[in-house]
Amino acid sequence: MSARSTAAALLDAHGTTYAQEAGIRLRDTPQPLYQLLVLSLLLSTRIRASVAVAAARALYAHGMRTPRRTADATWQQRVDALGEGGYRRYDERTATQLGEGATLLLETYGGDLRRLRRRADGDLDVLRDGLRRTPGIGPVGADIFLREAQDVWPEAAPYFDAKARQGAERLGLPTDPAALARLSGGHGPSVLAAALVRAALDRTSSGP
């Protein structure tokens, strides 16, 4: 099977980003970008991706869709929402990180991650460093955010992190980001990147 056919079959089977799975309608506006930041934090821990997505949905369902609403929620309300989504192993620590991260985002960027984007001015290192200032967002979380956001923040594209490239290697696809982007067709590189992560996770137990 050619690389293009392999990529097309993968996209048919797994052509959904994690943001879409969590119900985020991703646009370059403050609320969905914040929701993606929360999802990236949840996905970056050693927990099943399906649990992280369910926890994100529960937080959003309880109104924590913006940094202001998250900061105003009590620690126990954040714990309870995470537990409702099945995110029990790290719920207390994560509830603290969510509160601290929301407050930091409000104080530093007025709750708007686009201000970080403007400050970075196309420099991915500055963008990564800014994201990693958020409590709970380390290198993996920053990678997840940029991997998912690259269609609305095209200066990050093509963004295929180590986990996505692991999936590409497993399927015999090229691991060069530019070559992979050419295989994404009309879906956008974020969709192929998420599908490749799922391919990698078929053989590993760590998070995306």
The pLDDT tens digits for 140-192 are: 999 999 999 999 999 999 999 999 999 999 999 999 999 999 999 888 999 99
Give the pLDDT band (50/70/90) at residue 203: low
Residue 202's pLDDT band (cuts 50, 70, 90): confident
Question: What per-residue confidence (pLDDT) applies to 90?
Answer: 87
Maximum pairwise Cα distance, the chain: 53
For the stretch 87-144, pLDDT in tens is 988 899 999 999 999 999 999 999 999 999 999 999 999 999 999 999 999 999 999 9
pLDDT at residue 205 tops 60: no
pLDDT at 1: 74
CB 101 within 8 A of CB 137: yes
Integer Cα distance of 115 and 111 in angstroms: 9
Give the pLDDT band of residue 208 (cuts 50, 70, 90): low
Tell me the three state secondary structure of residue 76.
Answer: helix
Q: Is 164 helix (H, G, I), strand (E, B) or coil?
A: helix
| Whole-angstrom distance, CA of residue 66 vs CA of residue 60 | 9
Query: What does R_g of the chain's alpha carbons equal in angstroms?
Result: 16
Whether residue 60 contacts residue 35, with contact meaning beta carbons closer than 8 Å, is answered with yes
Report the amino acid identity of residue 202. D
Per-residue model confidence (pLDDT) at position 189: 96
CB contact set of 41 (below 8 Å; sequence gap of 6+): 94, 97, 98, 101, 134, 136, 137, 141
In this predicted structure, the answer to whether residue 85 has a pLDDT above a threshold of 70 is yes
Q: Containing H/E element for 71?
A: helix 67-72
DSSP type of residue 64: -
26-48 average pLDDT score:
97
